Amino acid sequence: MTFNKKEIIRFRHCDPAGIVFYPRYLEIINDLVEDWFEVMGYPFNEMDTCLGAGVPTVNLNIKFMQPCRQGDTLFLELVCARIGDSSFDIKVTGQRLEQRILEAYVTLCFTTIGKQISKLSIPEGVRRQMLEYRPVQDTASL
């Protein structure tokens, strides 16, 4: 299963050249992750109180294939590529119609929140939900 979202590119996303300013893609990806967690039943605004955790990005790699412009619709797809003890990898693809716009690989890590940040094991309920978003061929290797 994949998590899908449609993002309409707005004026606020674009630079003076009229294309999406690349840091805005980081915000779009972060919004996608936040929406994914909410669908799984773990909204970011409750994760601190119910799990005592956050999920900061620890590694990010994005390849841009084509620009997006104001008014374009970006179709985003997220799959959970790897689930470790405390960290997990997601793959995000973005398309406009049949054109691949971007491909991102993101590693996030469950951590405590506050002054002393340390890794936490992924809670079992979250892990079960993440497994639903693994590519079909990868579930046998778990």
Domains in the chain, CATH or no CATH each = 3-135 (3.10.129.10)
Give the pair of three-digit tokens for residue 62.
């994005």
Cα gap 63→106, rounded to integer Å: 12
Query: Alpha helices, DSSP H only, in the chain?
Result: 22-39, 44-51, 124-131
Cα gap 59→57, rounded to integer Å: 6
- One pLDDT digit (tens) per residue for the chain, 142 residues: 899 999 999 999 999 999 999 999 999 999 999 999 999 999 988 888 888 889 999 999 999 999 999 999 999 999 999 999 999 999 999 999 889 999 999 999 999 887 788 899 999 999 999 999 998 765 444 4
pTM: 0.90
